[in-house]
Amino acid sequence: MGSQEKPVEKIVVRGLEGVVAAETSISYVDGVHGRLYYQGYDIHDIAEQISFIECIFLLWNGRLPNRRECDEMRNAIVGEMKLPDAVLELLKASPEKSHPMAVLRTAVSLLSCFDPDADDTTPSANYRKAKRLAGQIPTIIAHLHRLRNGLPLLTPRPELGLSANFLHMLTGNIPDELEKRAMDILMILHADHGLNASTFAARVICSTLSDMHSAVTGAIGALKGPLHGGANEKVMGMLHEINHIDRIQEYIEGMLENKKRIMGFGHRVYRTEDPRAKHLRKYSELLCEKTSQKHLFEMSHRIEKIVFEQKGIYPNVDFYSATVQHALGIPAAYFTTIFVASRTPGWLAHIIEQYSDNRLIRPTSKYTGEMGIPFVPLGKRG
Site residues (vs ligand CMC, CB under 6 A): 15, 196, 227-229, 231, 261-268, 311, 313, 316-318
CB of 274 to ligand CMC, least distance (A): 7
Closest to ligand CMC by CB, 37 or 57 = 37
Q: Which residue is nearest to ligand CMC (CB)?
A: 266
Per-residue buried b or exposed e for 135-174, using 16+ beta carbons within 10 Å of the residue's own CB: bbbbbbbbbbbbebeeeeebebeeebbbbbbbbbbbbeee
Q: Which of 192, 211, 274, 318 is catalytic?
A: 318
Look up residue 33 and give its amino acid.
H
Closest to ligand CMC by CB, 147 or 256 = 256
DSSP one-letter string for 159-218? GG-HHHHHHHHHH-----HHHHHHHHHHHHHTS--SS-HHHHHHHHHHHTT--HHHHHHH
Closest to ligand CMC by CB, 63 or 261 = 261
CB of 364 to ligand CMC, least distance (A): 21
CB of 328 to ligand CMC, least distance (A): 19
Closest to ligand CMC by CB, 131 or 234 = 234
First to last CA, the chain: 23
Distance CA 259, CA 342 (A): 32
Closest to ligand CMC by CB, 226 or 331 = 226
Closest to ligand CMC by CB, 112 or 316 = 316
Distance CA 274, CA 109 (A): 32
Q: In Å, what is the CA distance from 239 to each residue of 226, 284, 297, 326?
A: 16, 14, 10, 11
In this structure, the strands spanning 35-38 and 27-30 are: antiparallel
Q: Is 102 buried (19+), middle (13-18) or exposed (0-12) by CB count in 10 A?
A: middle
CB of 342 to ligand CMC, least distance (A): 11
Please tell me whether residue 141 adopts helix, strand or coil conformation. helix
CB of 33 to ligand CMC, least distance (A): 17
Distance CA 140, CA 91 (A): 8
Distance CA 308, CA 155 (A): 44
Q: Identify each DSSP E strand in the chain by its residue range.
A: 27-30, 35-38, 41-42
Q: Which of 168, 193, 267, 350 is catalytic?
A: 267
318 is catalytic: yes
267 is catalytic: yes
CB of 253 to ligand CMC, least distance (A): 12
Catalytic residues: 267, 318
